[in-house]
């Protein structure tokens, strides 16, 4: 979901120029055991705070980047790559840092850094107060090159009334007081805690250590909360004591984690600015970071692309499976109050092919079929529950009374129906025949029914109400007895 801010997202921090040099390595040089790279292709992109700003702009947000760029070719090129981002330059006399990753077949071989000599950033924030006054949220993306150390800038940040998210750096500046959320990774949190002398003894697990470090940093930094990112484990959120909140990450194949921390911080900052509570913003940030690395990390952020990273649609999934000679299976239903019978049917359907797409009735469709009191669970939540099942590969929500139009888009090879259609004609058979698909009936798990669950719940609620005495009558009786005495 794309959150809406009341004003621009202001990203403050050190911007870099990142360049990936991708080549093909098929031989070694005759004079040394090192690979020769042929057919090098250059992929430039913003880095550091620039990457965070570019991500937010691709998400469709109005973005202002406050940074220090050198008056050089790299700075000019970086500003060109920041299309859609308004850049507010601070006065700076140093070079623009450039980081080049040389890769063969997607595997990094070495990194070449230039412009690493940091210049001087003047304590001049002319015009910045007006920029911050209209901000919907602020993200401080510190990469340790001095932007976050400017005294006047820090003073402005302490006075802000909009949520400030601070993504710290080991060589950077201490977050200002009152920050809504700080987002170090596990190694950074441990380093910060050690430097502050508040890390405490080592714990039995990485999760316990992260919780202890986060608790300590909330107090030391005078922040409202600290979220320690834990890679594949998600993130741990601390408010400075008590039980921490752990936001687990979905299981994904990580191709290149570069930029995942920026994706996390951007999502959290926008979520807080849009009114989410901190735990909600952190959970959303974990999910977006997982989507980002699953989509290829920085490879998914080509400068030519103008859209956000997104998951595959059902149609794309079906196309890939079909192109590979696989079998696409689909089934459908309301799936209101998911129960064991649903799960058994879905698992059976998935075993019939190489992917399973669930055609899910929308809320309006359910109401027309089941009556005005249904569904009990809205379509968005029903879809999330289905997608969480290991046997479900995709969910398509349809508004019609039947899934015919959805089937025309998906064109499955197999359409799985419930056991009550055994030996009977399936209504969707005609449309399935258009592309050679066929229907099958799967047995039900006896005694399981959403309708029966609803009826049972209503019956038990009524019985419970009848079993509880009328408290008003009891009070009246007691009052009467006391008056009689």
**Residues assigned a catalytic role:** 262
Tell me if 163 sits within 8 A of 181, measured CB to CB.
yes
**CB neighbours of 121 closer than 8 A, spacing ≥ 6?**
68, 90, 91, 92, 146, 147, 149, 150
Compute how many other C-beta atoms are within 10 angstroms of the C-beta atom of residue 426: 15
Starting from the edge strand earliest in sequence, which strands make up the sheet with 107-114, in order?
Answer: 35-48, 15-28, 98-104, 107-114
What is the rounded radius of gyration, in angstroms, for the C-alpha atoms of the chain? Answer: 28
Q: How far apart are CA 56 and CA 213, in angstroms?
A: 29
Q: How far apart are CA 272 and CA 267, in angstroms?
A: 9
DSSP for 47-59, written as a single string: EEHHHHHHHHHHT
Compute how many other C-beta atoms are within 10 angstroms of the C-beta atom of residue 253: 6
Tell me if 307 sits within 8 A of 58, measured CB to CB.
yes
Residue (of 195, 190, 194, 230) closest to 214 by Cα position? 190
Q: How far apart are CA 322 and CA 221, in angstroms?
A: 54
Q: What tokens were used for 444?
A: 């039900």
Q: How far apart are CA 48 and CA 191, in angstroms?
A: 20
The values of phi and psi at residue 301, to 5°, are: -115, 45
DSSP for 184-196, written as a single string: -BHHHHHHHHHHH
Within 13 Å, how many C-alpha atoms sit on residue 428's CB side?
29
Tell me if 392 sits within 8 A of 355, measured CB to CB.
no
Q: How far apart are CA 88 and CA 50, in angstroms?
A: 12
What are the beta bridge partners of residue 11? Answer: 65, 139
Angle at 72 between CA 68 and CA 74, to 5 degrees: 80
Class of residue 205 by CB neighbours under 10 A (exposed 0-12, middle 13-18, buried 19+): exposed
Q: What tokens were used for 306?
A: 């103008």
Q: How far apart are CA 278 and CA 268, in angstroms?
A: 8
Q: How far apart are CA 90 and CA 118, in angstroms?
A: 14
């Amino acid at each position: 979901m794309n959150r809406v801010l009341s004003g621009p997202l202001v990203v403050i921090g050190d911007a870099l120029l990142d360049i990936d040099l991708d080549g093909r390595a098929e031989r070694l040089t005759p004079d040394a055991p090192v690979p020769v790279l042929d057919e090098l292709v250059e992929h430039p992109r913003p880095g550091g705070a620039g990457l965070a700003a570019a991500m937010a702009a691709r998400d469709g947000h109005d973005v202002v980047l406050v940074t220090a760029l050198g008056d050089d070719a790299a700075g000019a090129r970086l500003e060109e790559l920041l299309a859609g981002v308004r850049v507010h330059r601070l006065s700076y006399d140093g070079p623009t840092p450039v980081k080049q990753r040389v890769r063969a077949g997607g595997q990094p071989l070495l990194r070449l850094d230039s412009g690493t000599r940091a210049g001087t950033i003047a304590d001049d924030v002319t015009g910045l107060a007006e920029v911050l006054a209209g901000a919907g949220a602020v993200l401080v993306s510190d990469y340790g090159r001095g932007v976050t150390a400017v005294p006047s800038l820090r003073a402005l940040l302490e006075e802000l009334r909009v949520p400030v998210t601070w993504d710290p750096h080991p060589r950077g500046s201490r977050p200002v007081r009152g920050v809504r959320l700080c987002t170090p990774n596990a190694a950074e949190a441990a380093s910060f805690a050690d430097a502050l002398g508040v890390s405490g003894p080592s714990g039995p697990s990485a999760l316990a250590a992260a919780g202890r470090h986060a608790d300590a940093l909330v107090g030391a930094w005078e922040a409202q909360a600290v979220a320690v990112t834990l890679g594949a484990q998600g993130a741990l959120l601390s408010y400075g004591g008590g039980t921490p909140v752990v936001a687990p990450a979905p299981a994904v194949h990580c191709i290149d984690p570069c930029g995942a921390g920026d994706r996390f911080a951007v999502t959290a900052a926008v979520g807080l600015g849009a009114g989410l509570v901190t735990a909600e913003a952190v959970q959303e940030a974990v999910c977006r970071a997982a989507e980002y690395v699953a989509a290829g990390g920085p490879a998914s952020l080509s400068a030519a692309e103008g859209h956000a990273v997104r998951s595959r649609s059902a149609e794309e999934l079906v196309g890939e499976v079909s192109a590979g000679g696989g079998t696409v299976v689909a089934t459908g239903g309301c799936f209101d109050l998911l129960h064991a019978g649903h799960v058994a049917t879905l698992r059976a359907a998935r075993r019939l092919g190489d992917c399973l797409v669930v055609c899910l009735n929308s809320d309006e469709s359910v109401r027309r079929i089941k009556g005005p009191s249904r569904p009990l669970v809205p379509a968005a939540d029903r879809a999330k529950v289905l997608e969480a099942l290991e046997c479900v590969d995709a969910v398509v929500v349809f508004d019609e009374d039947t899934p015919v139009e959805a089937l025309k888009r998906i064109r499955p090879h197999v359409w799985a129906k419930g056991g009550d259609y055994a030996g009977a004609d399936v209504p969707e058979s005609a449309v399935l025949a258009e592309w050679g698909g066929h229907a099958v009936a799967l047995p039900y798990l006896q005694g399981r029914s959403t309708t029966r669950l609803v009826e049972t719940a209503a019956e038990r609620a009524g019985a419970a109400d009848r079993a509880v005495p009328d408290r008003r009558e009891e009070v009246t009786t007691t009052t009467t007895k006391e008056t009689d005495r």
